[in-house]
Structure 1
Amino acid sequence: MSYSYQINSFEQYKEVYERSIQQPQNFWADIASNFQWRRKWDKVLDWNFEDYKVEWFKGAKLNITENCIDRHLEKLGNKPAIIWEPNNPDEHHRVLTYNDLYNKVTQFTNVLKNNGVKKGDCVCLYMGMIPELAIAVLACARIGAIHSVIFGGFSAKSIADRLQDANARFIITCDGAFRGGKDIPLKSLIDDALESCDFIERVIVCTRTRTPISMIKGRDVWWEDEIKKVETLAMAPAPAEEMDAEDPLFILYTSGSTGKPKGVVHTCAGYMVYTNYSFVNVFNYKLGDIYFCTADIGWITGHSYIVYGPLSAGATTMMFEGIPTFPDAGRFWDIVDKHRVNILYTAPTAIRSLMSYGDEPLKGKDLSTLKVLGSVGEPINEEAWHWYDEKIGKGKCPIVDTWWQTENGGILISNLAGITPSKPGWATLPLPGVQPCLMDEQGKEIEGAGTGNLCMKFPWPSIIRTTFGDHERCKKTYFSTYPNHYFSGDGAMRDENGNYKITGRVDDVLNVSGHRIGTAEVENAINLHAGVVESAVVGYPHEIKGQGIYAFVIYNGTHNADDEDLIRRDITATVTRIIGPISKPDKIQFVKGLPKTRSGKIMRRILRKIAENETENLGDTSSLLDAGVVDEIKKGKL
């Protein structure tokens, strides 16, 4: 398979981008012609942002799994589709070829049918990062069921909230999951959640940790037993259900400040086309490359850039069970060395964490096969960018600094590896078909270089279609702030060459004595201090300045309480030198950890409420990796 739509030079990018803006429907029709359709579309795009309605490839019929698996079998059947690396390096890795994946997905599709799952049903998946999670996701898509993956670490209450909101009747889970040195009791948490969810008809349980669990007669069944049933019945490979282009493919929940998670809905055709197009072009993927995204399928990065984007491109995609620092901080580098990885896509929070261990974990690790590095989840600070470039890429690997969101479905702004210029700390240029703009507080578009609120003025194929069961919430959240524009909620800078730098959430942009200061800029300066591992900056009410700057800092060096004042002064001096005295923090609190989601994002709204003494109403904390961090920060508040 070759990619006729792969961009090969900066000049070509500029030509393709211009065409994509001038003739978007023709542009996307040409891209879509590279996929397998049961029926072609009647109309490429029907949309309006005012009442918010978007339909791509209207009237088309397809099944995304035929594009991810079936169409590859003739030429790529014996090629690795998924390489799985387990939590414990002593356990053997697994390789599934495209033929293997086809057999396992069609087999589990028959299991779903046997258990009453039908097209349009919602199936929730609460599993560890094992190949069976990808198999189950694809089997749901093949049968036309809507999958909703819940990260294997949410609490029982959070699971129940999502099950109820999604009207799910079926669950696929594991007895447990391995994550670093911990065993996560997945099935027990499902049991606790189901005490308030008596509408669940079937729970299919896959064996992973061999943890003793409760199996309820008539509701709970073992994955392995159900596989044997379809084998015994000698069921034929399951044909893929014909889906409409705009049929829902999945629901993925994101945390909301109201405490009620938002169910972001993505549909079949546009999502498929865009994840494939962005994967091939951003990473400059060549057939045969080994591609390693370290994310979890429980998050949008895993959906788009472990499963659907790579597999639709006939790529070899790696799945990783575990954490970057177990059994030691060389885990990622061991995997790159072992599997001869060519493309590595990870989060700045992981990069900064691994930086703190120094060079020792890198010794003896062959990273020479790496060709492309990627960053996802939040803006990468310059110090981390340079470490990633020098220590991991050896100065030879382009770094793609990707900006996008759950609601976007795929990467919207990023340099294309080795094709378009990179700029440390900058996401750089939009992908073809993506039309960003900057808006000021009065709703006026900013022309040329400037700073403002990042919006989109035209839809791309994988844009959010709705928030499940509440379309008004979708309209209000994304399309009401700036009429006829999608509002990302992020602020950005644009330089004279059209490059974009994300400055963080708009409510993370501080107004100190009338000066607008991006928190990412202050954090970048703080992180340059030799002893700082990571920081997060928020605003708080200041009677003179309007807003003061409150910094939460993880400090790596050994120090006692008597040293802290001196360290604070050193950090303040660093910020003053890097940015200027207006940006120096008013308060610096040393903390052991920061409240992060499992995808690596710092939940600054929680820190903001602590800084503002609003500790009784912190909103939805269900997506935090470690909720105990919040209590420690509250106790140490200055």
Structure 2
Amino acid sequence: MVADSKSAQRPTKPAVGSAAGASGEVSAGSRYHEDYARAEREPLAFWGEVAGGIDWMRSAATVFDPSAGPYGRWFSGAVCNTCYNAVDRHVERGRGAQPAIIYDSPVTGSKRVISYAGLLAEVRILASVLREMGVSKGDRVVIYMPMVPEAVFAMLACARLGAIHSVVFGGFAANELATRLEDAEPKVVLAASCGVEPQRVVPYKPLLDEALTLTSVKPSACLILQRPQAEAKLVKGRDFDWAAMTDKARAAEKGADCVPVAATDPLYILYTSGTTGRPKGVVRDNGGYMAALLWSMKALYGIEPGEVFWTASDVGWVVGHSYIVYAPLIFGATSLLYEGKPVGTPDAGAFWRVIAEHSVKALFTAPTALRAIKKEDPDGELLKRYDLKGFRTLFLAGERADPATIQWAEKLLGVPVIDHWWQTETGWCICGNPVGLGQLPVKYGSTGVPMPGYRLDALDEAGKPVPTGTMGSIAIKLPLPPGCLPTLWQADERFRESYLADFPGYYRSGDAGFIDEDGYVFVMGRTDDIINVAGHRLSTGGIEEVIAAHQDVAECAVIGVRDEIKGEVPCGFIVLKRGVERSPADIEREIIALVREKIGPVAAFKAAVTVGRLPKTRSGKILRGTMKKIADHDSWTMPATIEDAGALDEVAAALGGRDGA
């Protein structure tokens, strides 16, 4: 997909910070290029050395077997246990007293520090309970829980037994939970009675009960964590009380040891949306995943063992799996588990309070969270209450990080703000800026450079690499590095059709962007976010970048709206910063003029709409696809992952009042 108006979309040379102004010192001696080249030149030696940091029960017969699976398998023949690497080995080596998890829940007023020894005790007991419920190696267990320590215990207990867990975001709609139950066929379901939001309590048990009536799959048991905010009614013979069962096991001094599994065995299944409406079960293996995560904690995130690493996500998402649970614990860091929001628990200073109180060294969150804080506290007045002197780095992922938001955070925090790009399917970072190897210069608008093992090209529709700086479909050469999905759950052919068929020899990421002359990757949006305006292929991300630079805009989204003459025309939705008193109509006119100036008349940008909030998923992604269906008067359904259904109503009302929208 060649951009006919490439020069109109971006400057010839993307803005480069001197370490991006306030973004810290750039190491003149970065090892990135050396490590990346070695991983490309000698992948077996590179990843074999990384795997030396894992405790194996049996070493791999071969680091990579190209004959296995749809594209090959990493560490074939190796035997291991991920729970052992995340918990037991740290205790055995004298670090049992070190905090493993810090739980901070402003929505319930609870805080708890769990040492590695304490974590081991909890996981051994829960694993013994699951074993008595009939869970064994290879069985599936569905986990339907909020951000509480027991959710982490559950994941690790499954890994301990060699069972395959599938975490479903707590509070997910019953029909969506049912489809995942149907596909995973779990032996047991672990659930909490409720989740706690800033303004409401969400009962989970009625949703679970309904889901179980919608599916033919019937687990042998459900273990329910009763929370005092909304206790659940248990079904006799099927439902069991979490506390009662674990207390009984504890009193009997029971515990389960680690079960050996193949490195290529599944650790978990994580479902992501499928184009057919049937969710895709992304499979994550044990060995390759551990190796990739272990490498990333030091090299990418710059963390040392024992330091506090905070990923402000949810265990229901891939980010939570990788960087709340597995990576920090395998590496021996302390992971912060936060049950709250960036604003409203109690205010837009919540993140700064947590960083200061718990001595967080690095925070990983979504750009949406920063934009929410920026909207409520644009001048950072709430930050002045807290001492963040030990805080080193802010990492962003999950949604494109516009330069205006990055620069706002840099100025506010005075630390490097690093955007990076990855997917549910990859399990860890595709492109980023490896601060642990010596930070590279920041280029605003770029997600950084490919991590070792990822070989990227921007391709045209025929699957041919496009010239440097030209928009295309971003694809990864096979084989994918360790940590990425080897296939979909019981669906090798669907995996090939979904990811490998379009561009032979490549994994199709589904994202569009370009690669510049220095090898930096600019991810501008999903391939379906490239709009065709009278024959000109334009990135909605590029237009959003211009709009976000306006001084009064907190966040924005651009979609392509069907047009009889031009095919599509862009329509921008803007959310203003708190305290802006100017007329929205005046601001909209300024934004239209700004887009015309920066991108050109070719964009045909004539519609800017002010709304109170943008519709998003619970992970912070803006629902551009649904917004487009509303704008085009196509049929649409309420997304199961939506955070606030009223936001879509507001968008629909705004679109209904606009000519051409």
TM-score for both structures, normalised by structure 2: 0.90
The alpha-carbon deviation at position 134 of structure 1 amounts to 0.5
Cross-structure match for 1:388: 409
Select which of 440, 444, 450 maps to 1:420.
Answer: 440
The alpha-carbon deviation at position 103 of structure 1 amounts to 0.9
- Alpha-carbon distance between aligned partners in 2 of 1:557 and 1:184, rounded to the nearest angstrom: 28
The alpha-carbon deviation at position 590 of structure 1 amounts to 2.8
The alpha-carbon deviation at position 523 of structure 1 amounts to 0.8
Cross-structure match for 2:512: 491
Cross-structure match for 2:395: 374
- Alpha-carbon distance between aligned partners in 2 of 1:573 and 1:400, rounded to the nearest angstrom: 30
Map 1:136-155 onto structure 2 (within 5 A). 136-155=154-173
1:478 aligns with 2:499: yes
Cross-structure match for 1:431: 451
Matched residue SS, 2:432: coil
- Alpha-carbon distance between aligned partners in 2 of 1:373 and 1:563, rounded to the nearest angstrom: 34
Cross-structure match for 1:586: 606
Cross-structure match for 1:526: 547
Matched residue SS, 1:129: coil
Deviations 1:281-333 (A, max 9, x none): 11111223211110101100000011111111001110000111111111111
- Alpha-carbon distance between aligned partners in 2 of 1:557 and 1:78, rounded to the nearest angstrom: 45
Matched residue SS, 1:413: strand
Deviations 1:540-591 (A, max 9, x none): 222332321122222347899x955433211101222333332352322333
- Alpha-carbon distance between aligned partners in 1 of 2:578 and 2:387, rounded to the nearest angstrom: 30
The letter for the 2-side match of 1:608 is K
The letter for the 2-side match of 1:431 is M
Distance 1:517 1:44, change over 3 A: same
The alpha-carbon deviation at position 210 of structure 1 amounts to 4.1
1:504 aligns with 2:522: no
- Alpha-carbon distance between aligned partners in 1 of 2:528 and 2:136, rounded to the nearest angstrom: 43
The alpha-carbon deviation at position 9 of structure 1 amounts to 6.7
- Alpha-carbon distance between aligned partners in 1 of 2:189 and 2:476, rounded to the nearest angstrom: 36
Map 1:25-424 onto structure 2 (within 5 A). 25-47=44-66, 52-73=70-91, 74-88=93-107, 91-197=109-215, 199-235=218-254, 237-325=255-343, 326-358=345-377, 359-392=380-413, 394=414, 397-417=415-435, 418-424=438-444
- Alpha-carbon distance between aligned partners in 2 of 1:421 and 1:566, rounded to the nearest angstrom: 37
Deviations 1:214-234 (A, max 9, x none): 111111111111112212322
Cross-structure match for 2:565: 544
- Alpha-carbon distance between aligned partners in 1 of 2:74 and 2:263, rounded to the nearest angstrom: 7
- Does the CA contact (< 8 Å) of 2:376 and 2:577 recur in 1? no
Distance 1:609 1:299, change over 3 A: same
The alpha-carbon deviation at position 635 of structure 1 amounts to 3.1
- Alpha-carbon distance between aligned partners in 1 of 2:275 and 2:574, rounded to the nearest angstrom: 24
1:517 aligns with 2:538: yes
- Alpha-carbon distance between aligned partners in 1 of 2:166 and 2:194, rounded to the nearest angstrom: 19
- Alpha-carbon distance between aligned partners in 2 of 1:559 and 1:341, rounded to the nearest angstrom: 33
The letter for the 1-side match of 2:187 is R
Matched residue SS, 1:337: helix
- Alpha-carbon distance between aligned partners in 1 of 2:221 and 2:106, rounded to the nearest angstrom: 28
Distance 1:636 1:447, change over 3 A: closer
Map 1:545-624 onto structure 2 (within 5 A). 545-556=566-577, 563-583=583-603, 585-614=605-634, 616-618=635-637, 621-624=639-642
Deviates more, 1:292-301 or 1:69-78: 69-78
The alpha-carbon deviation at position 64 of structure 1 amounts to 0.6
Deviations 1:603-637 (A, max 9, x none): 221112122211x234x711221233223322332
The alpha-carbon deviation at position 452 of structure 1 amounts to 1.4
Count how many residue pairs are aligned between Structure 1 and Structure 2: 623
- Alpha-carbon distance between aligned partners in 1 of 2:570 and 2:270, rounded to the nearest angstrom: 34
Distance 1:548 1:96, change over 3 A: same
- Does the CA contact (< 8 Å) of 1:178 and 1:209 recur in 2? no
Cross-structure match for 1:3: none
The alpha-carbon deviation at position 17 of structure 1 amounts to 1.1
- Does the CA contact (< 8 Å) of 1:87 and 1:178 recur in 2? no
Deviates more, 1:463-472 or 1:488-497: 463-472
- Alpha-carbon distance between aligned partners in 2 of 1:212 and 1:557, rounded to the nearest angstrom: 38
- Alpha-carbon distance between aligned partners in 1 of 2:408 and 2:265, rounded to the nearest angstrom: 43
Deviations 1:193-231 (A, max 9, x none): 122236122111112234132111111111111112212
Runs of 4+ displaced beyond 6 Å:
557-560
Cross-structure match for 1:457: 477
- Alpha-carbon distance between aligned partners in 2 of 1:88 and 1:563, rounded to the nearest angstrom: 36
- Does the CA contact (< 8 Å) of 1:347 and 1:600 recur in 2? yes
Question: Runs of 5+ in structure 2 lacking a partner?
Answer: 1-25
Deviations 1:146-176 (A, max 9, x none): 1011111211111111111111231111111
Deviates more, 1:254-263 or 1:62-71: 254-263
- Alpha-carbon distance between aligned partners in 2 of 1:178 and 1:10, rounded to the nearest angstrom: 47
- Does the CA contact (< 8 Å) of 2:171 and 2:207 recur in 1? no
Distance 1:149 1:37, change over 3 A: same
- Does the CA contact (< 8 Å) of 2:32 and 2:434 recur in 1? no
Deviates more, 1:503-512 or 1:293-302: 503-512
- Does the CA contact (< 8 Å) of 1:87 and 1:179 recur in 2? no
The letter for the 1-side match of 2:526 is R
* RMSD of aligned alpha carbons: 2.1
The alpha-carbon deviation at position 52 of structure 1 amounts to 2.3
The letter for the 1-side match of 2:155 is V
The letter for the 2-side match of 1:344 is L
The letter for the 2-side match of 1:221 is F
- Alpha-carbon distance between aligned partners in 1 of 2:106 and 2:212, rounded to the nearest angstrom: 28
The letter for the 1-side match of 2:602 is I
The letter for the 2-side match of 1:299 is W
- Alpha-carbon distance between aligned partners in 2 of 1:283 and 1:135, rounded to the nearest angstrom: 24
Distance 1:584 1:558, change over 3 A: farther
The letter for the 2-side match of 1:502 is V
Distance 1:627 1:87, change over 3 A: same
Matched residue SS, 1:493: strand
The letter for the 2-side match of 1:349 is T
Deviates more, 1:118-127 or 1:203-212: 203-212
- Alpha-carbon distance between aligned partners in 1 of 2:580 and 2:429, rounded to the nearest angstrom: 41
The alpha-carbon deviation at position 143 of structure 1 amounts to 0.4
- Does the CA contact (< 8 Å) of 1:107 and 1:230 recur in 2? yes
- Does the CA contact (< 8 Å) of 1:255 and 1:623 recur in 2? no
- Alpha-carbon distance between aligned partners in 2 of 1:269 and 1:484, rounded to the nearest angstrom: 24
TM-score for both structures, normalised by structure 1: 0.94
- Alpha-carbon distance between aligned partners in 1 of 2:647 and 2:64, rounded to the nearest angstrom: 46
- Alpha-carbon distance between aligned partners in 2 of 1:622 and 1:272, rounded to the nearest angstrom: 31
- Alpha-carbon distance between aligned partners in 2 of 1:367 and 1:559, rounded to the nearest angstrom: 28
- Alpha-carbon distance between aligned partners in 1 of 2:210 and 2:351, rounded to the nearest angstrom: 34
- Alpha-carbon distance between aligned partners in 2 of 1:323 and 1:228, rounded to the nearest angstrom: 32
